[in-house]
Amino acid sequence: MHKFANPARFMRLSNIVLPWITGLTILLFALGLYYSLILAPEDYQMGNTYRIIFVHVPAAYMAQFGYGVIAVSSAIGFIWKHPLADQAARATAPIGAAFTALALLTGSLWGKPMWGTYWIWDARLTSMLILFFLYLGYIAVWQAIEDQVKAAKIASIVSLVGLVNVIIIKFSVDWWNTLHQPATLMRMDGPTIGGNMLIALLLMIAAFNMFFVAVLFWRIQSLILQRRIRSLRLQLGGGLG
């Protein structure tokens, strides 16, 4: 994959694929919302309240997936000195933090009618809140340390340590007695929903994934351009000096 690590080559390739990814994102969101709001039937127990899962579940999934991307990219950057790996990890952090915040918000809105409260110190909810702070801590490392090489190393360590929390999030409903419902899709005995509900959820997850990729490409491009501008300023400053 090192042949794709060259920033100039990445810029060319991403400019080619970004319009297609953006178009696919819009299409998937349109289909997903149509199935979620119109075709998916009302739940026999929760009524229309359950439809928040079509945002909550994809957001929670992407929150964990995003941190996984950060951890893998950081490991690649730390071990193999991949030129774009650290930038990919850095670019992912604000996206993952936004997904985590959305998951927490929609989970609270769903919790009120289901549990009678917006928040409870449930294992799944608490570990998701910790994930949000891990994202903020990772972002803070990059903001606080001016030396980009040193920042990348420290941020890599932070991301790899925080990966333990993602495992806790995944298995919290199995390890502890929790109010949060068990997994809906990733089950040995198959999904617990079907029909248009399942199609709607899968479409929304796919839409969130495509949105993640599109924004990630935009952010990596932005970081590459910022780095070029910073290098140019240093060169001009050295020449003037």
* Each residue's pLDDT expressed in tens, for the chain with a length of 241 residues: 555 567 788 889 889 999 999 999 999 999 999 999 999 998 877 778 889 999 999 999 999 999 999 999 999 988 887 778 999 999 999 999 999 999 999 999 888 888 888 888 888 888 999 999 999 999 999 999 988 889 889 999 989 888 898 888 887 766 656 666 666 665 555 566 768 999 999 999 999 999 999 999 999 999 888 877 877 776 776 554 4
Average pLDDT, the chain: 86
The four Cα atoms 172, 198, 61, 70 give a dihedral, to 10 degrees, of 130
- Could you identify the residue written with the tokens 């491009």? 221
pTM of the model: 0.88
* pLDDT tens, position by position, 159-178: 988 889 888 888 776 665 66
Here the tokens at position 23 are: 């178009």
Summarize pLDDT for 196-237 with one digit per residue, the tens: 999 999 999 999 999 999 999 999 999 888 877 877 776 776
Cα–Cα distance for residue pair 228/104, rounded to 1 Å: 36
